[in-house]
Structure 1
Amino acid sequence: MTSTLPAVTTPKVPAQRQPASTVRSMGRTTPPKRLRSSRPDLLLCGALLVAILVVQGWNIADYPTLSDDEGTYLAQAWAVQQGRGLAHYTYWYDHPPLGWIQIAVLTWIPSWLSPGSMTVADMRVAMLLVSAVSAVLVYVLARRLSLPRWAAGFAMALFGLSPLSVVLQREIFLDNIAVMWTLLAFTLAASPSRHLWHHFGAGLAAATAVLTKETMLVVLPAVFVTMWRHSHRDTRKFAVTGAVTACTLIGFSYPLFALLKGELLPGGGHVSLWDGIKYQMTRPGSGFVLDQSSGSHGVLHSWLYYDRVLPLGGLAGALLLVATWRWSVTARALAGPALTVAILTALALRPNGYLPAMYVIQALPFLALVLAGGTASVAHAVLRRWRRPDEQKWKTGGRYALAAVLSLAAGAYVVPRWYDGDHTAVTADANAPYRSASKWLTTEVADPKDTRVLVDDALWLDLVHHGYRPGLGVIWFYKADLDPAVTKTMPHGWKDIDYVVASPTVRRDAVDLPNVKAAIEHSKPVATFGKGPDRIEIRRIQTAGTADGGVR
């Protein structure tokens, strides 16, 4: 008797479904899990990086004009290098010191090889490293947010080659370094690997950004929104909680530092963190940004003077992403950058807020990302085939012809304007007056070691390297009125000064500084460099013994 066995059938295993954010990305190819394994991505990112470094590095010492803020941060970094403390004067908690500690690290080797090169113009080269890292992070972040390769390259080009970016990223600003750390936090938060250490790393990077420039605190919600969207649902709460905890613990190191020094709260004879925060929160506003008579409007005008494409186009891109939130995968993928743009725009629109010129630096990479994302969203809507058979289909040639026409039209508008701005950046010499003033003070003054001169911080390190006594001989002009450690060395006020270098910054702020104002009023120019409002005057203080105004 025989029996037959039933046929054995192999059950079909359903294909594993990929996350919708990956399948429904704007490009037709899925972003690689590891960009370093993608040759096209590496070639595109590398080519753009070379272009960005050439444009930003060419003529970096001569344009834009040296600023007092750059000099202050570099002088504080010099003080750290020299073991003089956290600042070249009394550190008063104006900003967390981590920012210029990083500048000290960036400039340590060149200053060690050539101590005299530790000046603002020369050390701007160190910012190229920060720009390079930030530009690469913009590309990586764009790909991790599911933007197609061309859109990621577009975002990187917007961020690195916009004339507004070229000008501001050259300068030694804490904002540039803080943006680098913020981009790293976003990139780790959007990691496709979803490793827990990536999320903890995002929290640490976010805290470092805040301790570099405290205003980055307002961007933290957008970092955690990005992390929430990209973390695994099973470990999401743990990952976000761990990141928040890491960020908070690192952030508390700053007030702990002040507490250990006995400078957390106000008291007799010392500065305090509380007074520093109070100053930052109560400083006079610069008016409403849309009020043409306000200082904030002047700052906005200066941004748009360099470039209208990135600021206005970025805002338009953010609005488009918000409007298409419900049905656009790109809009949801770019929730973090779009939220960042929204937060920074809302703060800039405060009726009487303080709007510094470097504020826009914090928004530049996110404006680039949302503009590229909005462009990708529109391009995808134009180029995709209609899926339902009853709808009219565009011919392939016609669709790509339309895309080419739109691209050429955008290029015809953008390229000439960017060319003019970037051409100025790589050819103009805005710092000749500063170089001439520095040379005069080092060659025409008989005894620099016995001379006291008020300068802005853009010149402070130049004169220190040429023999002037730091803090006592060459004096940052603010300290002549605001630092008791300096004013006690000036028992006769302005009469204890020999020269005042009246740069645009000194002339502008002297109205609120009695000693500096009196020094200018009781002095005569002995040398003038440049013309108009940008001129630099070296003025000799007129006392009974120097009525002739001669140079000693």
Structure 2
Amino acid sequence: MLRARGIGKYPFPNDDEGTYLAQAWAVRHGELAHYTYWYDHPPLGWIQLSAVSWLPDLLRPGLPTFVQGRLAMLPVAAVTCVLVYAVGRRLGLARPTAAGAVLLYALSPLAVVLHRQIYLDNFAVPWALAAFAFALSPRRHLWHHVAAGMSFALAVLSKETIGVLLPVLLVAMWQGSHSSTRKFSLAGFFSGFVLTGLFYPLYALLKGELLPGAGHVSLLGTLTFQLGGRQGSGSAFRAGTDAHQLFTDWLARDPYLLIGGAVAALCALPVRRLRPAALAVLVLALVALRPGGYLPQMYIAQVLPFLALTLAGLVQVLIERLPGRPRLRAAAALAVVLAAAAVAGPAWYHQDRLATTADDNRVYRDAARWLRETDTGDRDKVRLVTDGVLWLDAADAGYRPGTGVIWHYKLDQDPAVTKTLPHGWKDIDYVVSTPALRGEREHLPTLRALFAHGTPVATFGEGGGRIDILRIGRAG
């Protein structure tokens, strides 16, 4: 309910959401991406999105496309919560404790907002949790460990950054396997992981795009760029950096689960059954805190389930070690619940209420309606530039996908687009000026020229969050 209410109104759309949704649309039309697929991420994430996003599109065709995509994320969030419970039980948590971990995870304001958004991390996390559930299976069947490897490969193919959890998953495999059959379990795990993961480089190899070369994209070339070519986010401990701002925003939304879970992870390391969850928190935290690396906004989504599991599990361990009768332990558990509700409850209520009642996205709804209803001439010939969020709305409104409606990042960076613009900015008729476009105009020469020659014909909202429709004027 928390995730569904107001899902199209809050938070403000991220350009990545529109990109992944457009790529899912391309999958339904027989392509891996709506422009040249350059191996920026493995495609399994938006392939899964394409499998679930068609139903909101069918049932509510009048909604902006990013709202339809967010509705498709609701069943993904539900599956993730079920898997948090399953992993909690496999970690030795009692049913009430595992349910408490789900509540910590589901009610956290960070999770409420992030689960609404169309991020690849939201597809990777359930596969990773499934891998941990298989690895810790009490039955210790070989096929469970093969399934753990396959599930983790699917997690990495959904969002590659979650691959840093591989050493943690091996710890879980070690604890979840019997010493007499451990070598078979590990062999089965790596067989499932490698054979499933090989589909991605095999695809690149068959396309002739595994190795860098002239005139084509490549998997290894893009991987080199992702690892060392993109600008870092700076140090989380230095004010003014992107990483510091991200940590500040995360802590402002939910300091209780983040700080409480991190402290619990340090304290839970000596507890064998909680060690996989605690190690997952610490490994992901160390990656986020590394100096100079790139830290995306949605990265915290990978950490949240393990924070909840570690915090709930440590509370159970401490209560179990109390001397006395079961009634005393029950009273202690009740006291912990009441204390947590008193401390975190008001802040969580305020943040979750904001998520369900705020309306930050009216400008996008109005702009999407303008694209559908305004007569701009022959839409098969009119050319306009949008951000990623409104690209699919324009395509659905009848503008020609790819070179009729152009994603602003492709203006100067995709040869397939630039060759259709022999006169540069003069070949464009309209620009849908969103905050994302205005933030990039200094980096893209053609976009900068468009802003210099554009005249507003419609404006939605005001201030930095407004959207302007600019008609491009040509000399003579």
* Fold match (TM-score > 0.5): yes
Question: 2:295 maps to which residue?
Answer: 355
CA distance in 1, matches of 2:177, 2:332: 38
CA distance in 1, matches of 2:315, 2:460: 47
Cα distance change on mapping 1:111 and 1:398 into 2, 3 Å? closer
CA distance in 2, matches of 1:516, 1:172: 26
Question: 2:45 maps to which residue?
Answer: 99
Residue 421 of structure 1 and its aligned partner are, at CA, apart by 0.9
Secondary structure of 2:457's partner? Answer: strand
Work out whether residues 438 and 463 of structure 1, in 8 Å CA contact, stay in contact via their aligned partners in 2.
yes
Cα distance change on mapping 1:340 and 1:134 into 2, 3 Å? same
2:110 to 164, 180, 183: 164
2:138 to 173, 179, 192: 192
- State whether structure 2 residue 236 is matched by structure 1 residue 297: no
1:219 to 151, 165, 171: 165
Percent pairwise identity:
52
Residue 79 of structure 1 and its aligned partner are, at CA, apart by 0.8
The aligned runs of 1:56-95 (5 Å cut-off) are 56-83=3-30, 85-95=31-41
CA distance in 2, matches of 1:405, 1:175: 35
Q: How far does the alpha carbon of each residue in 1:421-445 deviate from its partner, in whole angstroms, 9 at most, with x for none?
A: 1111111112100011122233334
The aligned runs of 1:469-488 (5 Å cut-off) are 469-488=400-419
- State whether structure 2 residue 180 is matched by structure 1 residue 234: yes
CA distance in 1, matches of 2:388, 2:328: 59
More moved, 484-493 vs 531-540: 531-540
Work out whether residues 264 and 274 of structure 1, in 8 Å CA contact, stay in contact via their aligned partners in 2.
yes
Secondary structure of 1:264's partner? Answer: coil
Q: How far does the alpha carbon of each residue in 1:86-139 deviate from its partner, in whole angstroms, 9 at most, with x for none?
A: 111111110111111111111234445666668111121111111111101111
- State whether structure 2 residue 314 is matched by structure 1 residue 374: yes
Cα distance change on mapping 1:189 and 1:537 into 2, 3 Å? same
CA distance in 1, matches of 2:441, 2:210: 30
Residue 406 of structure 1 and its aligned partner are, at CA, apart by 4.3
Q: How many residues align?
A: 474
CA distance in 1, matches of 2:172, 2:422: 57
Output the amino acid matched with 1:133.
V
2:258 to 305, 311, 330: 311
Secondary structure of 2:459's partner? Answer: strand
Q: How far does the alpha carbon of each residue in 1:349-406 deviate from its partner, in whole angstroms, 9 at most, with x for none?
A: 111111110000111111111111122223233x333xxxxxxxxx887776565444
2:359 to 410, 420, 429: 429
Output the amino acid matched with 1:485.
A
CA distance in 1, matches of 2:170, 2:68: 38
Residue 238 of structure 1 and its aligned partner are, at CA, apart by 0.5
- State whether structure 2 residue 280 is matched by structure 1 residue 340: yes
Cα distance change on mapping 1:396 and 1:161 into 2, 3 Å? closer
Work out whether residues 117 and 123 of structure 1, in 8 Å CA contact, stay in contact via their aligned partners in 2.
no
Q: How far does the alpha carbon of each residue in 1:54-108 deviate from its partner, in whole angstroms, 9 at most, with x for none?
A: 111112122111221111111111111122x111111111011111111111123
Question: 2:267 maps to which residue?
Answer: 320
Residue 514 of structure 1 and its aligned partner are, at CA, apart by 1.3
Q: How far does the alpha carbon of each residue in 1:215-269 deviate from its partner, in whole angstroms, 9 at most, with x for none?
A: 1111111112111101122211111121012201211211111011011112222
- State whether structure 2 residue 143 is matched by structure 1 residue 203: no
Work out whether residues 371 and 393 of structure 2, in 8 Å CA contact, stay in contact via their aligned partners in 1.
no
Q: Which runs of 5+ in 1 are unaligned?
A: 1-53, 326-330, 386-394, 546-552
Secondary structure of 2:179's partner? Answer: coil
1:506 to 422, 437, 445: 437
Question: 1:409 maps to which residue?
Answer: 339
CA distance in 1, matches of 2:414, 2:423: 15
CA distance in 1, matches of 2:214, 2:221: 12
Work out whether residues 66 and 121 of structure 1, in 8 Å CA contact, stay in contact via their aligned partners in 2.
no
- State whether structure 2 residue 63 is matched by structure 1 residue 133: no
Work out whether residues 341 and 366 of structure 1, in 8 Å CA contact, stay in contact via their aligned partners in 2.
yes
TM-score by length of 1: 0.83
- State whether structure 2 residue 190 is matched by structure 1 residue 244: yes
Output the amino acid matched with 2:404.
G
- State whether structure 2 residue 467 is matched by structure 1 residue 536: yes
- State whether structure 2 residue 93 is matched by structure 1 residue 147: yes
| Higher Cα radius of gyration | 1
Q: How far does the alpha carbon of each residue in 1:486-506 deviate from its partner, in whole angstroms, 9 at most, with x for none?
A: 000111111211222221111
Q: Which runs of 5+ in 2 are unaligned?
A: none
More moved, 504-513 vs 110-119: 110-119
Work out whether residues 111 and 118 of structure 1, in 8 Å CA contact, stay in contact via their aligned partners in 2.
no
Question: 1:284 maps to which residue?
Answer: 231
CA distance in 2, matches of 1:321, 1:402: 19
Work out whether residues 57 and 68 of structure 2, in 8 Å CA contact, stay in contact via their aligned partners in 1.
no
Question: 1:265 maps to which residue?
Answer: 211
Output the amino acid matched with 1:373.
G
Work out whether residues 143 and 188 of structure 2, in 8 Å CA contact, stay in contact via their aligned partners in 1.
no
Work out whether residues 68 and 456 of structure 1, in 8 Å CA contact, stay in contact via their aligned partners in 2.
yes
CA distance in 1, matches of 2:418, 2:259: 46
Q: How far does the alpha carbon of each residue in 1:459-487 deviate from its partner, in whole angstroms, 9 at most, with x for none?
A: 01111111111112111000111100000
Question: 2:384 maps to which residue?
Answer: 453
Question: 1:384 maps to which residue?
Answer: 323
Residue 179 of structure 1 and its aligned partner are, at CA, apart by 0.3
**What value does the CA root-mean-square deviation take over the aligned residues?**
1.8
Question: 1:491 maps to which residue?
Answer: 422
Work out whether residues 60 and 68 of structure 2, in 8 Å CA contact, stay in contact via their aligned partners in 1.
no
CA distance in 1, matches of 2:126, 2:469: 38
Work out whether residues 56 and 68 of structure 2, in 8 Å CA contact, stay in contact via their aligned partners in 1.
no
Output the amino acid matched with 1:384.
P
TM-score by length of 2: 0.95
Cα distance change on mapping 1:269 and 1:401 into 2, 3 Å? closer
Output the amino acid matched with 1:311.
L
Secondary structure of 2:232's partner? Answer: coil
Work out whether residues 56 and 71 of structure 2, in 8 Å CA contact, stay in contact via their aligned partners in 1.
no
Secondary structure of 1:147's partner? Answer: coil
CA distance in 1, matches of 2:62, 2:365: 14
- State whether structure 2 residue 456 is matched by structure 1 residue 525: yes
Work out whether residues 188 and 202 of structure 1, in 8 Å CA contact, stay in contact via their aligned partners in 2.
yes
Work out whether residues 386 and 407 of structure 2, in 8 Å CA contact, stay in contact via their aligned partners in 1.
yes
Residue 411 of structure 1 and its aligned partner are, at CA, apart by 1.2
